[in-house]
């Protein structure tokens, strides 16, 4: 995979998430990450998500939370969906087998890149 430019590191402060191609790229307390953009629940764009106090990427639609290091869902859909028995467990198990895709983010000369 050839490197894909994200932008200036200064434009991605802690807590920010942006969309770059097929990835949601963010800064979780100084750790850059890139994960595939679609939530495993209903396909929401995770680039519109937020980063919680645990450094997890939170879906903007139903607040599922993902560990950005593994791509696994650590907290399933919330709100109305939280009332569906087994839904949280089911999605967390699904992401053990089918986690979000991940790619390395590197910084060179103040610029961030996904991959190589």
- Of 78, 87, 115, 105, the C-alpha closest to 17 is 105
83 confidence band (pLDDT: 50, 70, 90): confident
pLDDT band of residue 116 (cuts 50, 70, 90) is: low
pLDDT at 73: 92
pLDDT band per the 50, 70, 90 thresholds, residue 40: confident
Identify the band that residue 12 occupies on the pLDDT scale cut at 50, 70 and 90: very high
Helices (H), strands (E): how many in the chain?
1, 11
Say if CB 103 and CB 116 are below 8 A apart: no
| Mean pLDDT over the full length of the chain | 92
Separation between Cα atoms, residue 62 and residue 59, nearest integer Å: 6
Angle at 41 between CA 40 and CA 42, to 5 degrees: 105
Tokens (6 digits) for 76: 């399933």
Alpha-carbon gap, residue 33 to 21, rounded angstroms: 14
Average pLDDT of span 64-69 = 95
Residue 59: which residues within 8 A CB-CB, separation 6 or more? 39, 41, 44, 46, 49, 65, 66, 77
Determine phi and psi for 97, rounding to 5 degrees: -85, -40
Structural domains of the chain, with CATH:
13-106 (2.102.10.10)
What pTM did the predictor assign?
Answer: 0.90
């Amino acid at each position: 995979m050839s490197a894909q430019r994200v932008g200036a590191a200064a434009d991605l402060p802690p807590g920010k998430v942006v969309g770059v191609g097929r990835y949601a790229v963010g800064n979780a307390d100084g750790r850059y990450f890139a994960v595939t953009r679609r939530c495993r629940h209903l396909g929401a764009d995770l680039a519109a998500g937020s980063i919680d106090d645990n450094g997890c990427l939170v879906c903007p639609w139903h607040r599922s939370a993902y560990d950005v290091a593994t791509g696994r869902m650590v907290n399933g859909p919330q709100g109305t969906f939280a009332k569906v028995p087994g839904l949280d467990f089911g999605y967390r198990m699904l992401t053990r087998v089918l986690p979000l895709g991940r790619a390395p983010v590197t910084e060179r000369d103040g610029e961030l890149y996904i991959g190589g």
